[in-house]
A and B are shown apart, each in its own frame.
Chain A
């Protein structure tokens, strides 16, 4: 501590200490309390229980899955094209392609229900991670897409060439969708992402 007198050095230390104390208080109020509440009080809904059973391991890039293959829980999710369920891998594709930037998966507690179905209690997302929810809604909400659009054929066609599938309306049909084509996705990927969407009930 050359230069500044000891008094000023003390002030620096005390100031930084005050920052730490105030910030720690804020973390208790805005992280510890609400997170504790969320972890202890939220019970899974039927859908939440179903999905979290399908995605037993956190999907997407996690320490145990460094190549982002979505196979972290492969023994349960059963890989792609397997007999039971694709939806774990489908979620990985959904993340990898950045679908979530335009499609929320959270019906808002507003007039949203009219178009996108009922807003769900927190238990719907039970143990989901990451919870695939950005904030922009450039495209429709997908929380209940499996109920709204149950047809697998439609969804596959739509994911490949969305701008040709969305209901045409005469001259303006060219602008009926801003969703880009994903025709280069492999069949496995397409199947998986569609299974994932169909599970979103």
Chain B
């Protein structure tokens, strides 16, 4: 392997792909939340931008959701995988060039995807609105390179064991590829099966990709920054195997009021409670790893973000487990309550963990200190307060919608009642949006800052450069 690496003098500098992916992800984060922000304004003021065909709610919504999932979360995952896998394997990435090419193609693909949405070219399948050519594109230019790089780096590792994060990376890429194929429109599912497979797919994107890979990232960041070893590998393995075992099963809990087989709904609502096992194992493991280092929660941005995300996972999963029981689901299904849950998941839990990884890894990749810790604090509080306000407003309006649904109240009366909350969601939502611009600015300034070498290390730096 070392001979192999030496024979590749023209290979890119290690870390190039991770750096590029982190930056691209942040840019898509900004774009994706702007889409969401515009859609939010339309929910409160429907005449806003009315009559512009490529900015209707029906375009903004898929652009928002698919951009934040594919452009921000998944690309930040790729960045983390490209950064953490070689670090944990004590070797270099299997093929840096392939990774860099894949990230550029990925960026191009996101532009094309959003352009097709603006032109109204969509499948009509939630979370999978992109059309089949883009399916192929994602498969061959994004998933395959990512999988090859991850698996081959693990195979060529110079360490003995395999750290828990690597198990997650390797297994989740495999499972998400299968989910992606089975859930795509090209499979031709029809009738009620099409609704079921939409949710089987969407549920597994959340459960076999977003949730476990976020957790794997936290398993890396927290021990690294605190210097504590992971509290328990055994709990980590319980977490891992229960994700593989249970998380793919309750897809039907998104369709509790639909005419799908009854046994399937009961099965989903029981197996859905079982996914509290990985969720709690994860939270326990991370919080116990913090032992003795809790001061870092307020001192270190990477820990601050990651831990906040982990803490949001507690209400998220408890909420999830309750809302999927039939007794509760019929009440809040289809309301903004679910949209609030979705943002607690992807913004409160997952995004906070990834931002933590960015604050940890990007300055290290760039070899420079963070440009401004004050800006990082502003970023944190704007996102955290913005999110909590956003969640509260959506949950409240969801309860209004639910009450209207349960009491057969008039639809327009309900709209009037929830309007103040829709306005609140706009204000808090834009706090989040603007917070991400600070994030991008901070990271650009970090990257472009001149390298300042402390006196004592100058000799080392010149030697390294020469």
Contacts of A122 in B (CB 8 A): 191-192, 259-260
Choice from A15, A34, A104 contacting B167 with Cβ under 8 Å = A15
A61-72 CB mask vs B (1 if < 8 Å, else 0) is 111001110000
Say yes or no: B121 contacts A68, CB within 8 Å.
yes
Whether A180 touches B56, Cβ cut-off 8 Å, given contacts A15-B167, A132-B124, A135-B333, is: yes
Say yes or no: A136 contacts B174, CB within 8 Å.
no
8 A Cβ contacts from B239-287 to A: 241, 244-245, 248-249, 251-252, 254, 257-261, 264, 267
Say yes or no: B156 contacts A3, CB within 8 Å.
yes
Say yes or no: A181 contacts B251, CB within 8 Å.
no
Q: Which of A75-83, A105-113, A192-200 contacts B (4 or more CB under 8 A)?
A: A105-113
A: number of interface residues (CB 8 Å):
87
C-alpha spacing A130/B199, complex, angstroms: 12
The answer to the question of A74 belonging to the interface, with a C-beta cut-off of 8 Å to chain B, is no
C-alpha spacing A151/B155, complex, angstroms: 66
Give B248's nearest chain A residue, CB to CB: A26
Say yes or no: B1 contacts A34, CB within 8 Å.
no
Choice from A22, A61, A99, A134 contacting B244 with Cβ under 8 Å = A22
Choice from A61, A129, A179 contacting B131 with Cβ under 8 Å = A61
Contacts of B61 in A (CB 8 A): 98, 101
Q: Output the least CB separation between B87 and chain A (Å).
A: 14
Whether A108 touches B196, Cβ cut-off 8 Å, given contacts A97-B56, A137-B334, A184-B53, is: no
Binding site for B on A (CB under 8 A): 1-5, 8-9, 11-12, 15-16, 18-20, 22-23, 26-27, 29-31, 34-35, 37-39, 42, 58, 60-63, 66-68, 95-102, 104, 106, 108-112, 114-115, 119-122, 125-140, 163, 166-167, 169, 172, 175-184
Contacts of B457 in A (CB 8 A): none
The answer to the question of B62 belonging to the interface, with a C-beta cut-off of 8 Å to chain A, is yes
Contacts of A120 in B (CB 8 A): 259
Say yes or no: B249 contacts A30, CB within 8 Å.
yes
C-alpha spacing A112/B259, complex, angstroms: 14
Q: Output the least CB separation between A61 and chain B (Å).
A: 5
Say yes or no: A34 contacts B405, CB within 8 Å.
no
Whether A23 touches B244, Cβ cut-off 8 Å, given contacts A5-B160, A9-B155, A98-B58, is: yes
Contacts of B170 in A (CB 8 A): 12, 16
29 CB contacts below 8 A, A to B, read: A2-B1, A3-B159, A16-B170, A19-B174, A19-B175, A27-B178, A30-B252, A34-B196, A38-B261, A68-B121, A68-B131, A97-B58, A98-B56, A108-B258, A108-B330, A109-B258, A110-B405, A127-B190, A129-B189, A130-B125, A133-B198, A135-B126, A137-B334, A163-B46, A175-B416, A176-B415, A180-B50, A181-B47, A183-B51
Give A102's nearest chain B residue, CB to CB: B57
Q: Which 8 A-B pairs rank lowest in CB-CB distance, beginning with the nearest? A: A98-B58, A108-B257, A96-B120, A3-B158, A137-B334, A95-B124, A129-B190, A122-B192
Contacts of B50 in A (CB 8 A): 180-181
Say yes or no: B155 contacts A181, CB within 8 Å.
no
Say yes or no: A27 contacts B182, CB within 8 Å.
yes
Say yes or no: A8 contacts B123, CB within 8 Å.
no
Give the interface SS of chain B, mostly helix, strand, loop or mixed: helix
Contacts of B89 in A (CB 8 A): 3
Give the interface SS of chain A, mostly helix, strand, loop or mixed: loop
Whether A134 touches B126, Cβ cut-off 8 Å, given contacts A63-B186, A180-B56, is: yes
Contacts of A130 in B (CB 8 A): 123-125, 185, 194, 198
The answer to the question of B461 belonging to the interface, with a C-beta cut-off of 8 Å to chain A, is no
Contacts of A1 in B (CB 8 A): 155-156
Looking at chain B, what size class is its interface with the partner chain?
35 or more
Say yes or no: B120 contacts A42, CB within 8 Å.
no
8 A Cβ contacts from B93-134 to A: 120-126, 131-133
Given contacts A68-B120, A180-B46, 12 further A-B contacts (CB under 8 A): A3-B91, A3-B156, A29-B249, A35-B197, A38-B260, A110-B257, A122-B192, A134-B126, A169-B412, A177-B46, A180-B42, A181-B50
Say yes or no: B249 contacts A26, CB within 8 Å.
yes
Binding site for A on B (CB under 8 A): 1-2, 42-43, 46-47, 50-51, 53, 56-59, 61-62, 89-91, 120-126, 131-133, 154-162, 167, 170-171, 174-175, 178, 182, 185-186, 188-198, 200, 241, 244-245, 248-249, 251-252, 254, 257-261, 264, 267, 330, 333-335, 338-339, 401, 405-406, 408, 411-412, 415-416, 419
C-alpha spacing A68/B129, complex, angstroms: 13
Whether A58 touches B46, Cβ cut-off 8 Å, given contacts A172-B416, A180-B56, is: no
Q: Output the least CB separation between B158 and chain A (Å).
A: 4
Choice from B157, B408, B412 contacting A176 with Cβ under 8 Å = B412
Say yes or no: B264 contacts A31, CB within 8 Å.
no
Say yes or no: B160 contacts A4, CB within 8 Å.
yes
Contacts of B408 in A (CB 8 A): 111, 114-115
Give A136's nearest chain B residue, CB to CB: B334
Q: Output the least CB separation between B185 and chain A (Å).
A: 7
Among A95, A139, A172, the most chain B Cβ lie within 10 Å of the Cβ of A95
C-alpha spacing A30/B170, complex, angstroms: 23
Say yes or no: B194 contacts A131, CB within 8 Å.
yes
Q: Output the least CB separation between A46 and chain B (Å).
A: 15
Say yes or no: A138 contacts B43, CB within 8 Å.
yes
C-alpha spacing A131/B264, complex, angstroms: 19
Contacts of A15 in B (CB 8 A): 162, 167, 171
Choice from B46, B158, B186 contacting A4 with Cβ under 8 Å = B158
Contacts of B198 in A (CB 8 A): 130-131, 133
Q: Output the least CB separation between A183 and chain B (Å).
A: 6
Whether A129 touches B191, Cβ cut-off 8 Å, given contacts A38-B261, A102-B57, A109-B259, is: yes
Say yes or no: A127 contacts B191, CB within 8 Å.
yes
Give B401's nearest chain A residue, CB to CB: A137
Say yes or no: A140 contacts B411, CB within 8 Å.
yes
